[in-house]
């Protein structure tokens, strides 16, 4: 091909590109917030497919937590494992899922440190979709962990009086709260510079939230000053609501309080996450 023919072909291709850009009908439609979030959520699931070791924390960890706390504390706190399991399974159910939410922030921090999110921010998509999608993808991990805990609980003798409907309602409510709580770890992952630092800060927040609560023991046995803090602890409110739903009680007031907590968490930490994310270089 001669130089003249090459220039002519290049000019023809350039004209075709200009025609496509000039005609809005030929342009692909820009993705909306929902479709963009679902796409990034699917990416999170594909990461699990290619690195299945990520499921270790949602498979082995729930079994270990459920069996260990039931048999270690059962005889001392309730007199027998059979009696204690009715109290502790809803609590461990909440604790395990909340502990797993921490890994959402660690995964985000790892992606950010590798420069993946720098590429995402250059794409013409709804900016929060990159964070929302990551949190939505992790809902599958939370669901898997929750199912494992309930199966182990049933094997240990847990029998919820609320039946399947009560368990399902408690499960959905806990997933909503877990999604809302994950925004805290999003802020942490964007704020700190390393995965180890993100884990340290997350554990510093999670440990008092989960252990200074009503997960393992009745707050009535605690000192007055400690009980006052335990009663207003969001984790205690969630655990009490889960116990009520699984126990067959109509806990509309408690559910409303949990949803208010969820709204406050998202309203505070969602905008803060985006502020840090947009300014992060």
pLDDT digits 0-9 by tens, 187-201: 998 888 888 888 888
Tell me whether residue 35 is in a domain: no
Mean per-residue pLDDT, 169-178: 94
Rounded distance between C-alpha atoms, residue 38 and residue 45, angstroms: 11
* C-beta of residue 93 within 8 angstroms of C-beta of residue 242: yes
* C-beta of residue 144 within 8 angstroms of C-beta of residue 100: no
Tell me whether residue 119 is in a domain: yes
Residue 8's pLDDT band (boundaries 50, 70, 90)?
A: very low
The distance between the two most distant Cα atoms of the chain, rounded to a whole number of Å, is 93
Which has the minimum average pLDDT: 24-28, 165-169, 187-191, 247-251? 24-28
Tell me whether residue 58 is in a domain: no
Rounded distance between C-alpha atoms, residue 281 and residue 112, angstroms: 10
Q: Which pLDDT score is estimated for 221?
A: 79
Mean pLDDT of the chain: 82
Element (H, E) at 220: none
Tell me whether residue 250 is in a domain: yes
Start-to-end C-alpha separation, the chain: 46
pLDDT digits 0-9 by tens, 65-113: 788 878 877 777 666 777 788 888 898 899 888 888 888 888 888 877 7
Instruction: Give 249: exposed, middle or buried? Use CB within 10 Å, 0-12, 13-18, 19+.
Output: middle
Mean per-residue pLDDT, 48-70: 75
∠108-114-119 over CA atoms, to 5°? 85
Give the burial string for 148-160 (b: 16+ CB within 10 Å, else e): bbbebbeebebeb
Mean per-residue pLDDT, 164-173: 93
* C-beta of residue 228 within 8 angstroms of C-beta of residue 212: no
Question: Looking at the predicted structure, is the pLDDT value of residue 263 above 70?
Answer: yes
Domain that holds residue 126: 75-279
∠251-256-257 over CA atoms, to 5°? 100
Tell me whether residue 6 is in a domain: no
- H helices of the chain, in order, are 3-22, 33-50, 56-78, 81-113, 116-121, 129-156, 163-191, 195-211, 224-232, 234-246, 252-279
Rounded distance between C-alpha atoms, residue 29 and residue 161, angstroms: 50
Tell me whether residue 270 is in a domain: yes
Tell me whether residue 264 is in a domain: yes
Q: Which pLDDT score is estimated for 127?
A: 79
More confident residue, 76 or 179: 179
∠195-69-231 over CA atoms, to 5°? 80
More confident residue, 5 or 128: 128
Domain count, the chain: 1
Question: Looking at the predicted structure, is the pLDDT value of residue 6 above 60?
Answer: no
Rounded distance between C-alpha atoms, residue 65 and residue 78, angstroms: 18
Tell me whether residue 185 is in a domain: yes
């Amino acid at each position: 091909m001669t130089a003249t023919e090459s220039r002519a072909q290049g000019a023809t291709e350039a004209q075709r590109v200009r025609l496509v850009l000039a005609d809005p009908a030929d342009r692909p439609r820009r993705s909306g917030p929902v479709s963009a979030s679902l796409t990034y959520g699917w990416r999170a699931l594909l990461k699990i497919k290619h690195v299945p070791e990520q499921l270790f924390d949602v498979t082995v960890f729930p079994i270990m937590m459920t069996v260990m706390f039931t048999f270690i504390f059962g005889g001392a706190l309730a007199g027998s494992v059979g009696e204690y399991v009715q109290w502790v399974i809803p609590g461990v159910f909440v604790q395990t899922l909340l502990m797993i939410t921490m890994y959402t922030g660690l995964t985000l921090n790892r992606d950010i440190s590798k420069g993946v999110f720098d590429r995402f921010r250059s794409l013409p998509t709804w900016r929060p979709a990159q964070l929302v999608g990551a949190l939505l993808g992790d809902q599958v991990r939370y669901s898997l962990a929750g199912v494992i805990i309930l199966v182990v609980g049933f094997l240990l003798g847990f029998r919820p009086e609320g039946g399947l409907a009560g368990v399902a309602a408690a499960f959905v409510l806990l997933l909503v709260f877990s999604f809302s709580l994950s925004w805290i770890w999003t802020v942490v992952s964007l704020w700190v510079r390393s995965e180890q630092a993100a884990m340290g800060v997350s554990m510093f927040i999670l440990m008092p939230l989960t252990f200074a609560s009503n997960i393992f023991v009745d707050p009535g046995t605690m000192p007055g000053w400690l009980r006052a803090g335990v009663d207003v602890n969001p984790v205690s409110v969630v655990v009490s609501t889960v116990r009520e739903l699984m126990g067959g009680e109509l806990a509309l007031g408690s559910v409303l309080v949990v949803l208010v907590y969820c709204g406050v968490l998202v309203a505070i930490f969602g905008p803060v996450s985006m502020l840090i994310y947009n300014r992060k270089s």
